[in-house]
């Protein structure tokens, strides 16, 4: 049986790992390579690395950090931030990433998803979708590091992106991000029901029970967390042991 | 020297990193000379079957691979690198290398496709080679998978391990000098490294 994944996320800027609240007020969380090695040892199922200011600063991703991180981990490693072309994606893969997340670049140019999927296979293309609730049962897609409301429904964009070739969705709720009051269950469940690719739920993990909730009620395939793990409030093993006791299949 | 075949696709860097960690001499190359001289070959895989075959053909690597495999050179195919060994793939209706008889089929299941994540592999310790390949790897260990398609060999006797994802599919096969895995040993943590170590000892 396929197991549910627990994924620590390294949000990067200027070569350092940071963690914000609702995409602002960033706090330094340390060296990416050190953290990545630590999570690999602790039993993380995968790592996600997002260069969160590559798009807003209109620059390319930090390939050197990607390479050094990849050299030091033995688990899958996904990278996103500032990907605008097949060539950008190729460079990231060449430096040791296994999957690549597209966000603003794909929203502005949806053909990017199809081009990357045709070239590298859809399993390699993650749609990173940042959403915020605008009214009851309606979430909009935000781009440019969460600063721009596109006016487009998150559900519609998720469906379109999967039809275009996205193989997985990294779904971040801006509302719950960094708030540590639990994942956005409604958003996660709604997107998960509407597409047939794996979902990684992100934003809001604050206590161990939140992980159970998002797997059980949010119907997600993977859960991502940052500050909880970076600041040592929980270890990955604690989360997995808890989930196993609650009959959620995990790899221990 | 192990040559990791560069066909412009795939997570070549990940495979190289793993071999480096194990202290094994390897190189990433698309040179026909290097491939001929290599002690063993690895065809890694992240990509689509259609693009994969197109790239192999454009580089003139399809024929050389078939030759080297038929001559008996140890060969490890990973994920797409396993699928490309088959006669054909449903992915883009692609004719593949045809060194293993059978088809590559798309998952048809209520489960999400692609399969992404850690899943268990059940193996049969049928002969000494298999025993050596799975040394220090407990049965039903979890390996990392990322695939929308799976291999269906005509000759079931080459299947040494299976994994369940809606169907039981062949997650590892051994045919003479060929070892091919649907999972990614280079991404499967300590267990995956052990697997690659075991394969290197076999060659």
- A46 interaction partners in chain B (CB closer than 8 Å): 117
Report pLDDT for A17: 87
Q: Are A117 and B193 within 8 A, CB to CB?
A: no
Q: Are A74 and B118 within 8 A, CB to CB?
A: no
Chain segment B161-197, per-residue pLDDT in tens: 999 999 999 999 999 999 999 999 999 999 999 999 9
- A158 interaction partners in chain B (CB closer than 8 Å): none
Report pLDDT for A138: 97
- Is A11 known to be catalytic? yes
Residues of chain B with pLDDT under 50: none
Q: Are B13 and A75 within 8 A, CB to CB?
A: no
Residue of A nearest to B183 (CA): A76
Omega of the bond prior to B114 within 30 degrees of 0, cis?
yes
Report pLDDT for A15: 77
Report pLDDT for A187: 98
* Spatial distance between the Cα atoms of B34 and A128, rounded to a whole number of angstroms: 39
At A7, give phi and psi (nearest 5°): -125, 115
Q: Which of A3, A119, A168 sits opposite B142 (nearest CB)?
A: A3
Report pLDDT for A22: 81
Contacts of A217 (CB under 8 A, 6+ apart): A185, A189
Q: Are B117 and A2 within 8 A, CB to CB?
A: yes
**Least Cα separation, residue A43 to chain B (angstroms):** 9
Q: Return per-residue pLDDT of chain A as tens, 252 residues.
A: 899 999 999 998 877 888 778 877 777 778 889 999 999 999 999 999 998 887 777 777 688 889 999 999 999 999 999 899 999 998 898 888 889 999 999 999 999 999 999 888 888 899 999 999 999 999 999 999 999 999 999 999 999 999 999 999 999 999 999 899 999 999 999 999 999 999 999 999 999 999 999 999 999 999 999 989 988 899 999 999 999 999 999 998
Let me know: does B160 contact B126? Beta carbons within 8 Å. Answer: yes
Q: Which of A97, A99, A118 sits opposite B51 (nearest CB)?
A: A118
Three-state secondary structure call for residue A165: coil
Q: Give me the half-sphere count of Cα atoms (radius 13 Å) on the Cβ side of residue A113.
A: 26
* Spatial distance between the Cα atoms of A144 and A104, rounded to a whole number of angstroms: 6
Which listed residue (A40, A45, A88, A130) is catalytic?
A: A130
Q: Which of B49, B90, B189, B197 is the mutation pick for testing A, counting most A CBs within 10 A?
A: B189
- B187 interaction partners in chain A (CB closer than 8 Å): 74-76, 98
At A164, give phi and psi (nearest 5°): -75, -20
Q: Are A197 and B80 within 8 A, CB to CB?
A: no
Q: Are B11 and A118 within 8 A, CB to CB?
A: no
Residue of B nearest to A195 (CA): B112
Report pLDDT for B10: 67
Report pLDDT for B61: 97
Q: Which residues of B are catalytic?
A: 79, 184, 186
Q: Which of A46, A93, A196 sits opposite B11 (nearest CB)?
A: A93
C-alpha pair distances (Å), A7 with each of A18, A65, A199, A227, B157: 16, 19, 12, 12, 37
Q: Which of A2, A94, A251 sits opposite B13 (nearest CB)?
A: A94
Helix B49-58 × helix A111-120 angle, to 10° = 60
Instruction: Give strand pairing partners of B117.
Output: B145
Structure tokens at A77: 């490693």
Q: Are A121 and B184 within 8 A, CB to CB?
A: no
Report pLDDT for B169: 97
Record the pTM. 0.93
């Amino acid at each position: 049986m396929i197991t549910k994944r627990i994924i620590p996320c390294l949000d990067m800027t200027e070569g350092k790992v940071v963690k914000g609240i609702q995409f602002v007020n960033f706090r330094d969380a340390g060296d990416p390579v050190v953290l990545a090695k630590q999570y690999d040892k602790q039993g993380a199922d995968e790592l996600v690395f997002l260069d969160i200011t590559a798009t807003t600063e209109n620059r390319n991703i930090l390939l050197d950090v990607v390479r050094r991180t990849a050299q030091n981990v033995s688990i899958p490693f996904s990278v996103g931030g500032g990907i605008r072309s097949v060539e950008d994606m190729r460079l990231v893969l060449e430096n040791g990433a296994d999957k690549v997340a597209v966000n603003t670049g794909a929203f502005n140019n949806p053909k990017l998803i199809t081009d990357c999927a045709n070239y590298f296979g859809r399993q390699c293309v993650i749609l990173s979708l940042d959403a915020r609730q605008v009214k009851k049962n309606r979430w909009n897609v935000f781009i440019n590091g969460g600063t721009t409301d596109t006016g487009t429904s998150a559900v519609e964009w998720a469906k379109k992106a999967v039809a275009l070739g996205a193989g997985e969705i990294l779904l971040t709720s801006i509302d719950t991000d960094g708030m540590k009051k639990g994942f956005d269950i409604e958003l996660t469940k709604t997107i998960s029901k509407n597409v047939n690719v794996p979902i990684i739920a992100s934003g809001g993990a604050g206590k161990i029970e939140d992980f159970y909730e998002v797997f059980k009620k949010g119907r997600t395939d993977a859960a991502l967390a940052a500050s909880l793990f970076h600041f040592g409030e929980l270890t990955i093993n604690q989360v997995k042991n808890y989930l196993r006791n609650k009959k959620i299949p995990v790899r221990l | 020297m192990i040559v990791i075949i560069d066909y412009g696709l795939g997570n070549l860097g990940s495979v190289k990193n793993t071999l480096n960690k194990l202290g094994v001499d390897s190189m990433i190359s698309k040179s026909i000379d290097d491939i001929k001289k290599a002690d063993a070959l690895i065809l890694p895989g992240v990509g689509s079957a259609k693009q994969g075959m197109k790239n192999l053909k454009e580089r003139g690597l399809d024929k050389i691979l078939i030759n080297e495999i038929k001559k008996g050179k140890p060969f490890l195919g990973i994920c797409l690198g396993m699928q490309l060994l088959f006669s054909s793939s449903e992915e883009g209706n692609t004719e593949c290398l045809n060194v293993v008889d059978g088809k590559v089929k798309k998952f048809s299941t209520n489960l999400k496709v692609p399969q992404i994540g850690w899943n268990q592999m059940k193996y049969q310790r049928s002969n000494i080679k298999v025993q050596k390949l799975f040394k220090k790897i407990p049965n039903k260990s979890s390996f990392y998978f990322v695939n929308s398609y799976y291999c269906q060999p005509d000759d079931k006797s080459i299947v040494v391990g299976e994994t369940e994802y809606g169907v039981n599919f062949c997650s590892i096969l051994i045919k003479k000098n060929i070892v091919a895995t649907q999972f990614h040993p280079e991404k499967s943590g300590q267990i995956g490294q052990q697997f690659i170590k075991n394969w290197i000892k076999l060659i």
